[in-house]
Amino acid sequence: MPESNHQEEAADFVRWMFAQLGLDLEEADGVCRHRLEESKRASFGGNAELRIAFQDLAVDGQAEPIDFENGACCWLLKQLRSIKPAVHVRPRRQPTAVNDISSRLFSAYRVEGGRVHLGGCQLADFPFLRMSFSTQDHGKPTVRHLFVAHDGTSVSDSQAQELGLLDVEPITTSPPRIDDTTLNALIASGRFIAAKSSSSRDPAASTVDPLLITLLWVKHASGQLHFTVGDTTVALPFSGWAKSIEAQPFVAKQSGASTFHLAATDDGRIDAFDEIATCEQSGQRVLKQDLVTCCVTGKQVLEEFTEPCPVSGKPALTEQFVECAVCREQVSKSVLEDKVCGACRQMGKIAKDDPRLVWILGEHLGLDRWKRWRLAETQNVYITQADGIMKRLLAVVDKETLAVNFLATSSKLASGWTPVEGPAQADLLQ
């Protein structure tokens, strides 16, 4: 007997057989009764009624026990086996219409200032196989079910529960079509799975034939959800078994965020609601990733309203730049202290063979007369300072061109610097 966790009491299986054949039955005192048509009474010794005991202690002494090899239960099986190409059923609670799918999916999403709608949906029937075997469970007649997926593989316990394969109903009109080749291949797969399961404990065991082979038609849904805000629409494909399909998060193309809550930027990009913010400079709704933090004010603003501070490298609003009192470079207010930028405050001693100083002295030979150099650098310039016997020299040199942006001198006792320009600058540099 194939191993399976899916089984039901034999009485429930008999009830299902009656329902599948469209036959009425009555139950009382543990006995099932069905009134026979006259044309069928001869098969039962002229009896006008079938009586099957669903309980061992049934009070009706004329009721026959459940026996799938003889009597009424065997007759029911023969009626079902005669249905070509097979008995057709479907999960009782699976969605059967596109609206059932769309309403379940739509409710999972929220679109600010827009809507979610269906961009297309197809429902397709896939054939699963149920092979039913008669067995005993603690002395009680039981029917064990083995399920085979549409691709010929075994169905796990969890998938059988998920797809509703344990609670099925008849398909009374226009069942889906299946060709003999496909059906026979499924049956062959089912017999192989049953044989493998039966021999797991005893390799020499032979597999019993199933009482009945039933086709279960399981619906699969596929399509697209469309999220529209204004003139912009984005799509989210979906695919899954209709009964168990669940809404999946939308993954935004720009931010990469997964979300069920969508919104749009002012320029029409649809993204996760939590990934959209307002530029504190322009008031535009944009993606958070488009914003930078001004290192002076802390405002979240678009990068176009900022410049990188050459000292810290951090962005700052363009109106938050001022001139350093020493190097005369435009720097953000965040690096100033007593009007002097952080680079000028942190110049360190360097040897005269420092590669940076070698490049500068090679371009401006006159500077080679000075000794005891100190240097700092920003993203744009080298800030150099040299000490002579009586004077100090300050040279701010462009990193790319080695042009001198600012040249100044000072006595050793003075705190400020005197700019050197025109011919005097040329004399110092040559």
Domain boundaries, the chain: 7-94+123-219, 347-429
CB 196 within 8 A of CB 188: no
The predicted pLDDT at position 172 comes to 79
Residue 240 has pLDDT above 60, yes or no: yes
Torsion sign (Cα): 110, 115, 117, 119:
negative
Q: Which range among 26-30, 64-68, 258-262 has the greatest average pLDDT?
A: 258-262
State mean pLDDT over 286-292: 98
The predicted pLDDT at position 202 comes to 58
Tell me the pLDDT tens digit for each residue of 156-200.
989 999 999 999 999 978 899 999 999 999 999 999 988 887 765
Closest CA to 14 of 91, 82, 74: 74
Residue 111 has pLDDT above 60, yes or no: yes
- Which DSSP category does 85 fall into? S
Closest CA to 129 of 144, 159, 151: 151
The predicted pLDDT at position 420 comes to 95
Residue 16 has pLDDT above 90, yes or no: yes
Closest CA to 143 of 47, 221, 71, 73: 73
**pLDDT tier for residue 117 given thresholds of 50, 70 and 90:** very high
Q: Which helix (H) or strand (E) holds 16?
A: helix 10-21
CB 116 within 8 A of CB 226: yes
Distance CA 94, CA 118 (A): 20
Neighbouring-strand partners of residue 223: 121, 238
Residue 364 has pLDDT above 90, yes or no: yes
CB 424 within 8 A of CB 361: no
Closest CA to 128 of 156, 99, 108: 156
Structure tokens at 316: 């700052």
Residue 26 has pLDDT above 90, yes or no: yes
Structure tokens at 360: 């500068």
| H helical segments located in 64-109 | 71-81, 98-106
**103 or 137: whose pLDDT is higher?**
103
Burial of 298 (0-12, 13-18, 19+ CB in 10 A): exposed
The predicted pLDDT at position 60 comes to 61
Cα angle 259-265-271, degrees, rounded to a multiple of 5:
20
Distance CA 109, CA 273 (A): 11
**44 or 121: whose pLDDT is higher?**
121
Residue 50 has pLDDT above 70, yes or no: yes
Residue 119 gets the label, from left (phi > 0), alpha (psi -120 to 50) or beta, of alpha
Claim: this prediction has a pTM higher than 0.75: yes
Residue 248 has pLDDT above 80, yes or no: yes
Residue 224 has pLDDT above 70, yes or no: yes
Tell me the pLDDT tens digit for each residue of 377-386.
999 999 999 9
Neighbouring-strand partners of residue 250: 259
Q: 416-428 burial string, b = 16+ CB within 10 Å, else e?
A: ebeebeeeebeeb
Query: Which SS3 state, helix, strand or coil, does residue 174 take?
Result: coil
Torsion sign (Cα): 202, 204, 208, 214:
positive
The predicted pLDDT at position 350 comes to 96
State mean pLDDT over 329-355: 96
